[in-house]
Structure 1
Amino acid sequence: MASPSSVEATKQLWDDTLTRLLNLSTATVTRNTELEARLNEVELELSVWKQAHSAALDVAERDKKIYALQVATLNSQIASLQALSTQSPLILCIIDGDRNVFVESLLIQGLQGGRQAAQQLTKGVAEYIQDQDLPIGSGVVFSVVIFFNKKRLLDTLVSHFICTADQLDAFLLGFSQASPRFWIVDVGSGKEAVDGKIKDYLQTYGRFPQTLRIIFGGGNENSYMPTLTAMENEQLLGKVVILQSYDDLASEIRSLNLPSLRIDGLFMDNDPFYGTKRSGPNPLDGLWSITTNGGLMSPRSPPVSSLSQGEGKFIDPTKPLHKQSPPPCNEHYLMSCSKGGSCKYSHDYILTPEQLVALSKNAKKAPCNYLKNGLICPHGDGCCWGHKCPNGPSCFHLSKGKCWFKGDAMHSPVD
């Protein structure tokens, strides 16, 4: 039988063991509670991060689409710029018509004077470009735009007995008829109207990669200096050539050391707006006639039969051009007609720029006789006749052997 002391010791041992077990159980429960709380916190954080990650993916996907669109746009713009750079070089003549006034001997000739002025301007620019040995090839485009205040110019010319209103109107018509790319723009009244148009043209066309030269007739004025300075900062000033009508350039423009071109007998040497009135009008001088080449004036075109002022006649608006009696001569208006007075077509019509464009489009529908007969066309791109069938390789008449365009390669794809 165990002694009382032994029983007491055993009881104490069990009490201690139970106490330790209770303490361990309490600690375990407390720890589990803490871990569950921490797990809940971690799961909440994970949920937040998942949402943030999902949102970031959505943003990244949107950005990816935006960037892809921007890249496509940039590629398109680059392709457009490359296409522009391969286009025909442009020589643009911009003239301030308020400060550069054509000479009286041309103004008083009316229609023929306008044509002669266009011929002289084209010839002068062509000779300058040739002297500079610029790489223009055969596809150069020459365009002229004149900005002016017609009312102010007319009032001045009439009050100084330089020309009549009818003569000025006919002159302007003759000049604009010289080529579909010759424009005369009346900007109306306003001191800055002409300046604003010209400044915008200088900067806009100066940035075009195909613009080879800008022949700039700004008169003896410093008002265009800010624009020219801006072009200099953009390294575009090398495209500008000053069309000089006065003996001396404005001091600030002269400081730019730009190349200059002067065409004798084209513009007045001084500004008629500040001149003095004369006693009366001068008699008419001899008249000129000119021809054109491919829609642009040819500087080497020989003169053909002259028309006295007032002999020109207008198109019957109720009939198309080819049904006029007689129809206008395509070669006379678009190139040069070698038949002269023996030509069965008319050289006497006064054609508007729109009618010249229509005439050119109609002429392209008929084949060039040189190519049709297997020869090289001496006029090249300046030929007014068609070098390719407008219907291209899918021409219905070609399949029947009845197409007028019979030369080699005349049914290649139309550009």
Structure 2
Amino acid sequence: MMDIHSNLEDLEVGWRLCKGHDDQKHALIEDLFAYISALSLKLSEAEVELRDKKDVIQLNRSRLEEVKTENQALKLEKESSQQSATARHVFASVVIDGDCMPFKDELLRQGLDGGKKTASLLKQAVENDLRSRASPDADVSPNLQVLVRVYANMKGLAKTYKDMDILPDVASLDEFVRGFNMGDALCDFVDAGNGKECSDEKVKATFRVHLADVHCHQILFGGTADNGYARLLGPCVEDETARGRITLIEGPPFANELADLKDRFRVVSFNDVFRTQKLLNLKRRVSFHITPPMTPSTGYASAVAKAAPPSSPGPSSLVRTTTSSTSPKTSTALAKGLGTTILRNKLGQRVDQSTHFSQSEFGNIKARKLCNSHHLLGACSFMDAYGECSHQHGDQLSPRQLQILRAVARQSPCPAGLGCNDPSCILGHRCARDGCALANCRFSVEMHNVDTRFVA
């Protein structure tokens, strides 16, 4: 009987243990469900928050794209407006140095009508040139205006035309200029003043202003017969954008320093408008200061080298004089010294006779900075045009001094070379240095080793 009660108690204890385990298991399962429920709630909340954030991001992206689109549209509108404004005000600038780029004689002789005709011909030639160079898909703006500025020393130019019998009197040029200015509202022929560099400075200033102007489509430059403009054009050689906006107008032959640059620019000729030969007595025709020989080369380096100031003092550093430019004594010396006969050898080449002198004699004459034109020709175009000359006039030279001065003047080569037909030319027609190194000489190859034996 005792065993039955004992087993019952053991069973009850076992049951209670099992029941306790079941309670723990149920409690654990309930806790797990509660935990899962809590996690599910947090997950739902996170999903809602994430969805809201995605919506915000998408909205921001949409707004950003709208802003970008609006910004691009405004930018394009601004560029279009600027291009439209530029197209409405685009112009081509024609800048002419009238002292070294003279108009054709027959136009000048027509006076008022000739001036009007010249303005019309020049503008028409420029417009035709601009249209001819445009690519098929790049139309020239219908709003393109052609501005023409001609700067010249009117007083000196008028006298030169009269002295060359191109015009009957100095007042005739005024009629031509008046017609030129009346011919077109955008064509101006400006009297730059009677200073030697007045025209140059105005030409350079106008050139620089228009080159910096975004509205300026093209600059057509007419001053290529003056070496001084090599300094103006030299810096543009390596600037492809600037170089593409510059066209050189060829009239009289290119000056030596500009001849080295011309292949880097576009060159055009308006033969119906401009002379192809220089005027004989313009300021640049009688600049006889001696420049040391330079090594010829090609490209921009040559232009820079040639553009360097000469080692001899320039006109600005010399004593100025306002002495009369001519004298009977000088003219007499000229008649005795030069004569009217041009000596030539059997090949028909012009011969400069040799002059014998000591180095000290030559150095003394050269150092005095005498005016070659005044002493050798009896006239000075500087004095005639401006009333002053930067080289010495002074007293009459002795025959010996004139002979040596002629040798000094002959250190500058004549542009006409061995075929020169001007009896009064005082420039050199051959290199007089013995054993000259051709590569370092200003005289051309054919002007070396010239037969100096002249024939009757």
For this structure pair, what is the TM-score category when the shorter chain's length is used for normalisation?
A: 0.3 to 0.5
Which of the two has greater helix per residue?
Answer: 2
**Bigger RCO of structures 1 and 2 (CA < 8 A, at least 6 apart):** 1
TM-score (norm 1): 0.44
Please report the TM-score for the alignment, with normalisation by the length of structure 2: 0.40
